[in-house]
Structure 1
Amino acid sequence: MFKKLINIVVLVPVGVILIVLSVANRQMVTLALNPFNTADTVLSVSAPFFVFLFLAVILGLIVGATAMWINQGKYRRRARNEANEALKWHREAEKQRRQAESQAQHTALPTPRT
């Protein structure tokens, strides 16, 4: 319920802002990719301005997420190594417990009858 409320509180205003940006920036613009000849139509793209805004935001999110993922790789590796070590020690403890139980069964003294 809390997650749904947070999604509504965050996503509704973001959606409204995106719609307002889209309506306010509908004019066509040309992105020239040739710095020496801006009139070159082969290396230029025409689209509404909000398309370029959204593409820039999406590209920024992808680059940022990739950088964060790469940066946190050492923590994921450490967590993976520690999980493997914990599993190894858990198996060793189970092995020792089984050995102790089997020794206790073999060395159990018979109860004297009187």
Structure 2
Amino acid sequence: MKRAFYYLILVVALLVVAAFALANKQWIAQGVDLSYDPTRPGAVETTIHLPMFLVLFGVLLVGMILGGITVWLKQGRFRRAARVAQVEVERHRGEIDRLRSQANASETREGQAMLPSSVPF
């Protein structure tokens, strides 16, 4: 059921993206001025002709990448705290196992010492 819902949402999202691309298929000229010269205002060195939806999807992709990097950097302290906590948990588990084995060993020694050897078990 989850998988069917996932595919339904995926198909709807793809239809929305396709409709958006069809609605914005007009070509635009995007000027790129890599060598800014204040003495020649409005002079563009390179002009790229692209469909508008490619420009919009490109901006969306760059925004998602920058947002992902920002979130990853902001959550670094939480990942570090989780790593420290995991090391501490492993250390405590080892200590618990050691104490359990010591407790079991002392119980068996006490149990053997308390039972007389003449008990017919």
Is the pair's TM-score, using the shorter chain for normalization, greater than 0.5?
yes
The AA in structure 2 aligned to 1:105 is T
Residues 31-68 of structure 1, C-alpha deviations (whole Å, 9 max, x = no match): 21216444422xx3221111101101111111111111
The AA in structure 2 aligned to 1:21 is F
The AA in structure 2 aligned to 1:74 is R
- The structure showing larger relative contact order (alpha-carbon pairs under 8 Å, at least 6 residues apart) is 2
For 2:30, what is the secondary structure of its paired residue? strand
After superposition, the Cα gap between the structure-2 partners of 1:46 and 1:38, relative to the gap in structure 1 and judged at 3 Å, is farther
Among 110, 115, 121, which residue is 1:111 paired with? 115
Q: Which runs of 5+ in 1 are unaligned?
A: none
The AA in structure 2 aligned to 1:40 is E
Distance 1:75 1:67 in 2: 14
Task: Report the equivalent of 2:45.
Answer: 40
Q: Which runs of 5+ in 2 are unaligned?
A: none
Tell me the number of residue pairs that the alignment of Structure 1 and Structure 2 aligns. 111
Q: Cα distance, 1:3 vs. partner?
A: 4.9
Q: Cα distance, 1:92 vs. partner?
A: 0.4
Task: Report the equivalent of 2:24.
Answer: 25
Instruction: Give TM-score, length-normalised by structure 2.
Output: 0.77
Let me know the Cα RMSD of the aligned residues: 2.1
Instruction: Give TM-score, length-normalised by structure 1.
Output: 0.81
Identity of aligned residues (%): 24
